[in-house]
């Protein structure tokens, strides 16, 4: 039995980046032997085990063959005779297809012990994403992964032959077999990287965008016009500002503001989580009002709060404000502090006492309570809207 570090851990070490989680690969073992050694099996489809002490993931070396289209159609062959080269060959990119034996001494120079049958170090130095073998085309998730890595390693480019292969996969309908949850998972991860626009460019260039987000593909502007802040710049700004996933997703969809049903349709098809979807649709709906916040009357502001359930969900409301203001060049946008202050002021109104007093005055008219509270909130914020 021999153990290797593989994948992202090797790549990141060579790049001089901090290594977060280490993936281990085990050669010359069987599931029975792993269990006998105290490892816990995880995952039904994959021969992956958790280390008894460190809980790190150990995968048995395997080869795989495609049996059906899409992401589920794999059959794995995992046996003690699978070689390290065979295992590395089924990986997505050459920069992810390198290994280091675990018994490598601390003093050994990293590049002298690296197992790199597919030129990963060269591609790393040249900043190229290149597929390992033609088997790349057997898993459409790999397209999404390349796009996501482009957003993270933003100086890398995709090899022309890899783009070509990705286009062929799209044409063959491979991308259509992806389950929405998996698409969303990869998109969400890519949005949280440093430069999400680069993910979008890879998706567009490979033809994937037209399949998974046709609503955005249809309004894509290749002209790179500088006149207006483009979608790509807007979403990169949200990343630079360190904003949340919901805000970044809303920024990506901000060009759909005039056609909310398209945004809704896109969120539904990708099964976007409820919270992210609600923030997005609310931001699209309220964008114009919020951009004009400084000019709104106190009544209009309180109505905005009520429409957005801001009194019960203040944190979500603030996130939604950030999303609605994603096109603002100055950050933080002045409207943000203005509306936050207005909300705090309206929140400070003693709504419980007002409700009680109103109920005594109008015992048979409960609708009076809501309007009395609203009126008090309007009064409270009027002093700085006027
Ligand atoms: P990250 O830093 O995001 O964790 P990573 O490269 O470590 O990046 P993982 O998802 O942790 O990515 O996967 C570990 C390794 O497994 C990858 O480096 C790659 O070699 C391989 N791998 C993961 N998913 C796939 C896939 N869909 N197709 C081929 N190889 C894959
Ligand atoms: Mg990893």
Query: For residue 66, what is the domain's CATH number?
Result: 3.30.460.10
Residue partners of 240: CB distance under 8 A and separation at least 6: none
Look up the domain containing 355 and give its range.
351-385
**How many degrees, rounded to 5, is the angle at CA 337 between CA 234 and CA 379?**
135
Residue 143 within any structural domain of the chain:
no
| Buried b or exposed e, range 13-33, using 16+ CB within 10 angstroms | bbeeeeeeebbbbbbebeeee
Nearest atom of ligand 1 to the alpha carbon of 9 = 7
Q: How far is the CA of 13 from the centre of ligand 2 (A)?
A: 12
Residue 95 within any structural domain of the chain:
yes
Q: How far is the CA of 366 from the centre of ligand 1 (A)?
A: 59
Residue 47 within any structural domain of the chain:
yes
- Do 149 and 118 touch, CB atoms closer than 8 A? no
Residue 4 within any structural domain of the chain:
yes
- Tens digits of residue pLDDT in 230-249: 899 999 999 999 999 999 99
Mean pLDDT of 65-93: 76
Residue 250 within any structural domain of the chain:
no
How would residue 73 be classed by pLDDT, with cut points 50, 70 and 90? Answer: low
From 102, 125, 148, the end of a domain falls on: 125
Residue 93 within any structural domain of the chain:
yes
Give this prediction's pTM.
0.92
User: Which range (28-32, 101-105, 151-155, 262-266) has the least confidence?
Assistant: 101-105
The total number of structural domains in the chain stands at 2
How would residue 98 be classed by pLDDT, with cut points 50, 70 and 90? Answer: very high
- Tens digits of residue pLDDT in 148-171: 999 999 999 999 999 999 999 999
CA 116 to mean position of chain CA atoms: 30
Task: Give the Cβ contact number of residue 97 at 10 Å.
Answer: 28
- Tens digits of residue pLDDT in 47-67: 899 999 998 999 999 887 555
- Do 348 and 380 touch, CB atoms closer than 8 A? yes
- Tens digits of residue pLDDT in 332-382: 999 999 999 999 999 999 999 999 999 999 998 989 999 999 999 999 999
From 125, 160, 175, the end of a domain falls on: 125
Q: How far is the CA of 114 from the centre of ligand 2 (A)?
A: 18
Q: Of the residues 60, 91, 151, 189, which should be mutated to test ligand 1's pocket, given the most ligand atoms within 8 Å of the CB?
A: 91
From 125, 156, 184, the end of a domain falls on: 125
């Amino acid at each position: 039995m021999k153990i290797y570090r593989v994948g992202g851990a090797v790549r990141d070490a060579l790049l001089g980046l901090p290594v977060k989680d280490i993936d281990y690969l085990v050669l010359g073992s069987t599931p029975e032997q792993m269990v006998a050694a105290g490892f816990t099996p995880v995952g039904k489809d994959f021969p992956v085990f958790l280390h008894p002490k460190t809980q790190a993931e150990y995968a048995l070396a395997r080869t795989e063959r495609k049996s059906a289209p899409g992401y589920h159609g794999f059959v794995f062959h995992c046996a003690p005779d699978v070689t390290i080269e065979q295992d590395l060959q089924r990986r997505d990119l050459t920069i992810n297809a390198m290994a280091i034996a675990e018994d490598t001494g601390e003093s050994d120079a990293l590049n002298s012990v690296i197992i790199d049958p597919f030129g990963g170090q060269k591609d790393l130095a040249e900043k190229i994403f290149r597929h390992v073998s033609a088997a790349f085309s057997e898993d459409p998730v790999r397209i999404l992964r390349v796009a996501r890595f482009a957003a993270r390693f933003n100086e890398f480019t995709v090899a022309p032959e890899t783009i070509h292969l990705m286009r062929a996969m799209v044409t063959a309908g491979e991308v259509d077999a992806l389950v929405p949850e998996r698409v969303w998972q990869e998109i969400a991860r890519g949005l949280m990287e440093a430069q999400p626009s680069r993910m979008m460019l890879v998706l567009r260039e490979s033809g994937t965008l037209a399949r998974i987000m046709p609503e955005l593909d249809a309004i894509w502007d290749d002209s790179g016009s500088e006149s207006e802040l483009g979608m790509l710049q807007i979403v990169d700004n949200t990343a630079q500002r360190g904003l949340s996933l919901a805000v970044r997703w809303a920024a990506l969809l901000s060009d759909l503001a005039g056609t909310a049903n398209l945004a809704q349709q896109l969120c539904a098809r990708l099964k976007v989580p409820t919270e992210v979807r609600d923030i997005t649709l609310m931001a699209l709906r309220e964008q114009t009002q919020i951009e004009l916040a400084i000019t709104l009357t106190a009544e209009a502001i309180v109505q905005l709060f009520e429409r957005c359930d801001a009194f019960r969900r203040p944190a979500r409301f603030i996130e939604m404000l950030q999303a609605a203001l994603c096109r603002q060049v100055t950050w933080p946008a002045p409207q943000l502090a203005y509306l936050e202050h207005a909300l705090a002021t309206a929140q400070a109104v003693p709504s419980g006492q007002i409700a009680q007093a109103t109920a005594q005055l109008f015992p048979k008219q409960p609708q009076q309570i809501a309007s009395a509270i609203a009126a008090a909130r309007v009064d409270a914020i009027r002093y700085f809207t006027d």
